[in-house]
Chains A and B, each alone.
Chain A
């Protein structure tokens, strides 16, 4: 697998030395651990560009380990992406776009890209073609309660995304014109997300 801690590049016109690291292909122990180490050892006055490249997402535990390392690093961080970012990878980029912290910025892609966001799910032991969502567990199950607590954070990020896209300015989510019902696209998006469907979102450069 490609990716991991990458090339150090120093641009002559930049005040800070820019180190570019990549998160390629997936979010896993193998791809995240070297990045966490890089963020932990980074010194003040440095700039790390985390480039997320054609990433299909992966492990939620590793995603949170990476977010934690970025939030606590002493370096300035810029998060960029190329081609597509899905699931956990999209969550990482959206997190710092929608909930910015002073030393971290998510930047828009330079070329057209695609983002896919959805609620996290649990794969079936022994057959990863099957998965379930937290709702599949029985009510009152302590496992379900804890999973719902985790998923609430993803829902809050989605709500921030809706706000960014103008949800609060939508006065009528549904219209009826000549006996035909129309639904605002943000309402469609909201229904798809809360129905545990994947939301595919093209992102265009500035």
Chain B
């Protein structure tokens, strides 16, 4: 596994993006749409919908 150290300078610089609800709402809408498509496809195929994990193991 490759490991990279971040400088805190980069993390601590103020965000150039103005806080906006729209960005998050658009991402959440797309996630829901993808999830609906997945459920429908799995029902059509008669299979269990695969669950994604983001986990350290």
What is the interface of chain A, defined by CB distance below 8 A to chain B?
26-27, 56-61, 63-64, 67-68, 71, 86-88, 91, 95, 97-102, 108, 116, 118, 120-123, 128, 131, 142-143, 145-147, 149-154, 156, 164-166, 185, 188-189, 192, 197-206
- Measured in the bound complex, the distance between the Cα atoms of B30 and A159 in whole Å is 17
- Measured in the bound complex, the distance between the Cα atoms of B41 and A158 in whole Å is 27
Hey, which chain B residues are within 8 Å of A99, CB to CB? 17, 20, 23-24, 27
B35 to chain A minimum Cβ distance, whole angstroms, is 7
Count A-B contacts at CB 8 Å.
Answer: 160
Hey, which chain A residues are within 8 Å of B53, CB to CB? 57-60, 87-88, 120-123, 131
A90 to chain B minimum Cβ distance, whole angstroms, is 8
Set A67, A71, A188: member contacting B2, Cβ < 8 A: A188
A175 to chain B minimum Cβ distance, whole angstroms, is 18
Hey, which chain A residues are within 8 Å of B34, CB to CB? 146-147, 149-150
Chain A residue nearest in CB terms to B17: A100
A186 to chain B minimum Cβ distance, whole angstroms, is 8
> Can you identify 17 A-B contacts, CB atoms within 8 angstroms?
A60-B53, A63-B54, A88-B53, A88-B55, A99-B17, A100-B15, A100-B19, A108-B8, A108-B12, A122-B53, A142-B41, A143-B45, A146-B41, A147-B34, A149-B34, A164-B10, A203-B11
Hey, which chain A residues are within 8 Å of B49, CB to CB? 143
CB–CB B56/A71 < 8 A = no
CB–CB A108/B11 < 8 A = yes
CB–CB B50/A143 < 8 A = yes
Chain A residue nearest in CB terms to B13: A164
Hey, which chain A residues are within 8 Å of B3, CB to CB? 200
Set B4, B35, B37, B47: member contacting A199, Cβ < 8 A: B4
What is the interface of chain B, defined by CB distance below 8 A to chain A?
1-8, 10-13, 15, 17, 19-21, 23-25, 27-28, 30-31, 33-35, 37-38, 41-42, 44-45, 47, 49-57
CB–CB A71/B41 < 8 A = no
Set B11, B28, B45: member contacting A142, Cβ < 8 A: B45
- Measured in the bound complex, the distance between the Cα atoms of B35 and A59 in whole Å is 14
Hey, which chain A residues are within 8 Å of B57, CB to CB? 56, 128
- Measured in the bound complex, the distance between the Cα atoms of B5 and A189 in whole Å is 10
- Measured in the bound complex, the distance between the Cα atoms of B24 and A189 in whole Å is 25
A63 to chain B minimum Cβ distance, whole angstroms, is 7
